[in-house]
Chains A and B, each alone.
Chain A
Amino acid sequence: MEHILSLIVFFPLIAGIFGFVINKENVKTFGISVAFVEFLLSIVLWIAYDPTNSGYQFVEYSALIPQFGVGFYLGVDGISLFLVILSTFMTLVSLVALNIKKDIKNLVITILFLEMTLVGVFLSLDMILFYIFWELSLIPMLYIIGAWGSGQRIYAAIKFFLYTFAGSALMLVGILYLGYQYYLATGTWSFAIPDWYLLVLPFNTQLWLFGAFFLAFAVKVPMFPFHTWLPYAHGQAPTVGSILLAAVMLKMGTYAFIRFSLPLFPDASVYFLYPVAIIATIMVIYAAMVAYAQKDIKQVIAYSSISHMGIIILGIFAMNAEGITGSIFLMLSHGIVSGALFMLVGVIYDRRHTKLMSEFGGLATVMPRYAAIFGVLMMAAVGLPLTVGFVGEFLSLLGFYRVSWEITVIAGSGIILGAVYMLTLYRKSFFGKVVKEENKTLKDLDKREFAALIPLVALVVILGVYPKPILTTIDMSVRKTIQTMERKALLPDTKKFLLKVNSIGGTK
């Protein structure tokens, strides 16, 4: 058990390297089995994880550059645990759903590399290590979008890569500066996050550093107005790319907010609360509107992700256990739901090679099963109670209500607008009469697609009905984070604020 984390991180890498020698026909099977083993490993991790302990578990440390305080430092806590499981699970599912024939070998290997970077991001406790995985994750995605995408795939891939890379450039400076601050404070170099949690920074420094980190995370999330790479990436990416991008990669940004921005710069976070909240609100509504205007099913879902990420951001910046726990749960649920939705779009795209709503209509008649599953996931997407979508959304908004009811009302209108574009999408493509000739003969879901989709649907219901075990585990670590914030807060206002948002009652 000591080295399970590094095993989880590097198993896909090793397997991927082995993948080079496996022949074309079997490589997909290989990929699936590897992903499955990886998934099992993450489940083992969950089982072995002690939910009553809020700290980092299975910690591994080995110095890389002691002189410079860089170390190979892994650890898992309630916040990262389920994101790791999400990554492994979605990778598995997307591989199962995979039906690309072209250069399948490279694709599978790339996906495995991607999985490594994703898991690595969530497990690193060393800032440099985190940065390494953070940047590395771009490379496989660049390849996936650029090589297997459609239409302007290269433009989309380069845009995605450059945008996110440039976004995180400033973060590097921030990291190094913070490291230097730590050096000044303690006389030794360290980039270990737990060490940094002990470091109390002056307010102005916090502001600057918060800004530097914010840009990187905001681009990744992506927050308005840094979101324009997303529609292109999703629009051009192959199904598997979209799934992993929406399900896991977007979560890196929000995860980083919880892991770094809040506990490292509590005062700055509170100081910037309203600007961020307003941006998030704009995201929610603006993205929902743009989604409503789309003609391409995939684009609708792409923009809907932006909208949902807005709610996640709100939940995070509620800075109370309800909100943050909710937002993390919403990350999971959005991962599952959006992943599944992209998969469904892929299904129809494989059959008709178009994603335009106008091309469809009356699909419910020709593909009832498909329509049913799509319907379930749509309901999860609009946050219907007893689906996975509700819990996170409810908690996030609930949490932020404590901060400001006005913003919550406005952002809450997302649940209306969400229903608007989703139902419209569903109505346009599934209801009505089958007009197009080529749609009359469409095949319903086949075994492979079922195998990929059923688990997701099951999760949507199960986690919707019984999220408690996950929530409690997350909650433990979230409380710890909040305590860290309270401990580090410099300004009395911050302290007051944190106290207020984490307590019941009082006026308003």
Chain B
Amino acid sequence: MEKYLFVALFAPLVGSLFSLLFTAKEKNTITAIVTSALLLLSFVSSLTLLVSIHDGLTLHVKMMDWISAGNLNLPFGFIVDNVSVIMMVTVTLVSTVVNVYSMGYMGHDKGYNRFFTYISAFVFSMLILVMSDNFVGLFIGWEGVGLCSYLLIGFWYEKESASWAGNEAFIMNRVADLGMLMGLFLIYWQFGTFEYDKVFAHVGSLNPAIVTSIGLLLFIGAMGKSAQFPFHTWLADAMEGPTPVSALIHAATMVTAGVYLVIRASALFSLIPEVGHIIATLGAFVAVFAASMALVNRDLKRIIAYSTLSQLGYMFVAAGLGAYWIALFHLMTHAFFKSLLFLGAGNIMHAMDDELDIKKMGGLFGIMPYTATLMAVASVALCGVYPFAGFFSKDMILAAAFNGGNFYIWFALFIGAGMTAFYSFRLIMLVFFGDKVHKKLGFHPHETYPFVLWALLPLGILSTVAGFFEKPFEEFVTEILSKYEITIPHATELGLIFLTSAFVILVIVATIYKYNKGGFSKQLENMPIYLLLKNQYYIPKIYEEVIFKPYYRLSTFAWKQIDVKIIDFIVDLIAKTLYILGQKSRKMQSGNLSDMLRWMVVGIVALLALAIFYRPGM
């Protein structure tokens, strides 16, 4: 089986290196084809692994030694078990789709070959992240995906905003990574190793305080990668990247790495429910917080980005409450419909030549029906309407929240669901229905290439039906993840589900109705709450003012004032002083004989005086 593992892992790398050769050259479709093929290959082998894992085998291979110093001995080790294989399948599937899709989407871009290089590189790092059998390996992937996301966000580097967003993403992740790094160090000095199984085997016997701190530090890392508050700003700005990137990295895979980390370390986190509680609370908060920003935003992609944030919040709630398999399930389903949503948005952008303001669209349904359908499906799934994928995963999370007795979390998620329903259908309505604003603005939208649509189809299907795999999925992953028992009576559970669904559907209907009527009135936009949401709670501004600018000023001060004016000045001062002393002492050499003789006599007299007045030990 190992060969499948290595194929799955290295096929993307090969693809990346292959198209790397073409980066400096003209657009060349071969790169796209080869990479897609290799990604597909990787997907297939992941599937085979999935099957064989299902038949109860677990792969754990040590490829080669990496670092060894002192007591540390750190090999490249990979593990394929029920959890990682799910991730592998998801990642490779989505990435394959996205890659194929990009052949159309990036068709006219001069960075064509470069793009596919990055995408495959990203998949490779992502696979390392999920397949590694130790924390440092995970960290490699962690940083690797960070790099690729940096490169892809800044893909159109001529755009100031793009390169800026890239830096922001990288640096913010770095901040979180520091926390994670500290967690790793702590783990090492406790266990003397980084390997999951060894660590988790002994974690029980550890002073809880330390476990807590490990958990917190790791979670800081997770927050960064999954753009949880307060690190969330980079994700919205990351939308500067090409849309397929947003679909793959900033919706389906990378941003969920944080969740994956928590699930991976479930053995550790399950020991520290209080930390889990913090995670869940933060998740719930983000779920609402992000959704609220999506309510009023007019930027097609940012809306979806915020919804991603809020969905990540849901996942963290599940993970925090110990419902790891549910988190994973939602992670998977979300990957499907959210990437679908993004790719659909990509089609629209293409049609509207990269216009993003949804107020400038409308009535596109007639022009691009397939895209519209797919996006509708995705949205419904996102809102969690039966029988679409989102329904199952999301309602499980709500149930879990209720079950844990954290009613405020449940309520937050409940509201969040409503908001989700609203902004999704606000988007649908404004884009596909209503009057054709784009006509006035002189756009000439058109449906995209068929093969792109075909590529999207699998995602569409999965978003629809994935939910029905809930039970087998649960059985499958709970082989290694802790089971999660819903203890509340079944009736209550059903009641909740009904309640939520009813609420969601109600909101959807209301939204559709309202926007058929021509949407909300303008003066709404002057309400302070609206402005607050529109400006993302002014958080980016605050960062700008409180962190970025002061840091630059401080640095300049350190250089201009401290370094040059103080330290270096003192150094030169010493030299100067000596030189000036020299100038002074030079006067002694008056060249006049009498002075010379005088000096001699002065010497004699002075010493004679000493002979009389200075008497140590005589």
Chain A contact residues, CB within 8 Å of chain B: 159, 162-163, 225, 227-229, 231, 286, 289-290, 292-294, 320-322, 325-326, 362, 364-365, 368-369, 372, 379, 384-386, 390-391, 394-395, 397-399, 401-402, 405, 408-409, 412-413, 415-416, 419-420, 423-424, 427, 430-433, 465-468, 471-472, 474-475, 478-479, 502-505, 507-508
Q: B174: CB under 8 A from chain A?
A: yes
- Contact across chains for B181 and A412 when beta carbons are under 8 A apart: yes
1/0 contact string of B149-168 vs chain A (CB within 8 Å)? 01000100110100110110
**Which residues of chain A come closer than 8 Å to B558, judged between CB atoms?**
286, 289-290, 293
- Contact across chains for B140 and A405 when beta carbons are under 8 A apart: no
Q: Kindly identify which residue among A162, A325, A384 contacts B143, using a CB–CB cutoff of 8 Å.
A: A384
CA distance A479 to B177 in the complex (A): 30
Q: Kindly identify which residue among B67, B174, B182 contacts A419, using a CB–CB cutoff of 8 Å.
A: B174
Interface of B is mostly: helix
Q: Which residue of B lies closest to A318 (CB)?
A: B70
CA distance A430 to B167 in the complex (A): 13
**Which residues of chain A come closer than 8 Å to B562, judged between CB atoms?**
286
**Which residues of chain A come closer than 8 Å to B68, judged between CB atoms?**
468, 471-472, 475
CA distance A414 to B184 in the complex (A): 17
- Contact across chains for B571 and A385 when beta carbons are under 8 A apart: no
Known: A293-B555, A401-B182, A412-B182. A420 touches B575 (CB 8 A): no
Q: Kindly identify which residue among A466, A505, A507 contacts B192, using a CB–CB cutoff of 8 Å.
A: A505
- Contact across chains for A322 and B72 when beta carbons are under 8 A apart: yes
8 pairs of A and B residues whose beta carbons are closest in the complex: A321-B70, A504-B192, A401-B185, A293-B555, A431-B163, A322-B70, A325-B69, A385-B140
**Which residues of chain B come closer than 8 Å to A162, judged between CB atoms?**
575
21 residue pairs of the A-B complex, CB under 8 angstroms, read A286-B558, A293-B559, A325-B69, A379-B147, A386-B140, A391-B67, A395-B69, A401-B186, A401-B188, A409-B182, A412-B182, A423-B166, A423-B171, A427-B167, A431-B163, A465-B66, A502-B70, A504-B190, A505-B190, A505-B191, A507-B207
**Which residues of chain B come closer than 8 Å to A467, judged between CB atoms?**
66-67
**Which residues of chain A come closer than 8 Å to B181, judged between CB atoms?**
394, 397, 412, 415
- Contact across chains for B144 and A416 when beta carbons are under 8 A apart: no
Known: A293-B552, A369-B24. A398 touches B559 (CB 8 A): no
- Contact across chains for A432 and B163 when beta carbons are under 8 A apart: yes
Tell me the minimal C-beta distance from B71 to chain A in angstroms. 6
- Contact across chains for B167 and A225 when beta carbons are under 8 A apart: no
Q: B29: CB under 8 A from chain A?
A: no
CA distance A419 to B234 in the complex (A): 15
- Contact across chains for A416 and B175 when beta carbons are under 8 A apart: yes
CA distance A169 to B70 in the complex (A): 35
Known: A321-B69, A405-B185, A475-B68. A424 touches B555 (CB 8 A): no
Chain B residues numbered 130-146 whose CB sits less than 8 Å from any CB in chain A: 136, 139-140, 143-144
1/0 contact string of B521-559 vs chain A (CB within 8 Å)? 000000000000000000000000000000110111011
CA distance A409 to B186 in the complex (A): 12
CA distance A408 to B191 in the complex (A): 19
- Contact across chains for A416 and B174 when beta carbons are under 8 A apart: yes
**Which residues of chain A come closer than 8 Å to B157, judged between CB atoms?**
364, 430-432
Chain B contact residues, CB within 8 Å of chain A: 23-24, 64-72, 136, 139-140, 143-144, 147, 150, 154, 157-158, 160, 163-164, 166-167, 170-171, 174-175, 177-178, 181-182, 184-186, 188-192, 207, 210, 551-552, 554-556, 558-560, 562-563, 567-568, 571, 575
- Contact across chains for A408 and B555 when beta carbons are under 8 A apart: no
- Contact across chains for B64 and A294 when beta carbons are under 8 A apart: no
**Which residues of chain B come closer than 8 Å to A431, judged between CB atoms?**
154, 157-158, 160, 163
Tell me the minimal C-beta distance from A446 to chain B in angstroms. 15
**Which residues of chain A come closer than 8 Å to B191, judged between CB atoms?**
504-505
A325-B69, A395-B69, A502-B70 known; 5 new pairs, CB 8 Å cut-off, are A290-B558, A384-B144, A415-B177, A466-B64, A475-B69
**Which residues of chain B come closer than 8 Å to A228, judged between CB atoms?**
563, 567-568, 571
CA distance A405 to B187 in the complex (A): 12
**Which residues of chain B come closer than 8 Å to A401, judged between CB atoms?**
182, 185-186, 188-189
**Which residues of chain B come closer than 8 Å to A227, judged between CB atoms?**
567
- Contact across chains for A368 and B23 when beta carbons are under 8 A apart: yes
- Contact across chains for B69 and A163 when beta carbons are under 8 A apart: no
Q: Which residue of A lies closest to B160 (CB)?
A: A432
- Contact across chains for B554 and A289 when beta carbons are under 8 A apart: yes
CA distance A468 to B72 in the complex (A): 11
Q: Kindly identify which residue among A163, A290, A325 contacts B555, using a CB–CB cutoff of 8 Å.
A: A290
- Contact across chains for A322 and B554 when beta carbons are under 8 A apart: no
CA distance A432 to B161 in the complex (A): 9
CA distance A394 to B154 in the complex (A): 27
Q: Which residue of B lies closest to A371 (CB)?
A: B157
Q: Which residue of B lies closest to A399 (CB)?
A: B70
CA distance A320 to B69 in the complex (A): 10
- Contact across chains for B71 and A405 when beta carbons are under 8 A apart: no
- Contact across chains for A424 and B167 when beta carbons are under 8 A apart: yes
Known: A384-B143, A385-B140, A431-B158. A397 touches B185 (CB 8 A): yes
**Which residues of chain B come closer than 8 Å to A423, judged between CB atoms?**
150, 166-167, 170-171
- Contact across chains for B67 and A505 when beta carbons are under 8 A apart: no
Q: Kindly identify which residue among B71, B166, B167, B571 contacts A322, using a CB–CB cutoff of 8 Å.
A: B71
Tell me the minimal C-beta distance from B64 to chain A in angstroms. 7
**Which residues of chain B come closer than 8 Å to A159, judged between CB atoms?**
571
CA distance A369 to B25 in the complex (A): 11
Tell me the minimal C-beta distance from B208 to chain A in angstroms. 12
**Which residues of chain B come closer than 8 Å to A391, judged between CB atoms?**
67
- Contact across chains for A321 and B71 when beta carbons are under 8 A apart: yes
**Which residues of chain B come closer than 8 Å to A474, judged between CB atoms?**
69
- Contact across chains for B207 and A420 when beta carbons are under 8 A apart: no
**Which residues of chain A come closer than 8 Å to B166, judged between CB atoms?**
423, 427
Q: Which residue of A lies closest to B156 (CB)?
A: A431
**Which residues of chain B come closer than 8 Å to A395, judged between CB atoms?**
67, 69, 72
- Contact across chains for A471 and B67 when beta carbons are under 8 A apart: yes
Known: A293-B552, A430-B157. A385 touches B139 (CB 8 A): yes
Q: Which residue of B lies closest to A362 (CB)?
A: B158
Q: Which residue of A lies closest to B177 (CB)?
A: A415
Q: Kindly identify which residue among A362, A408, A427, A507 contacts B182, using a CB–CB cutoff of 8 Å.
A: A408
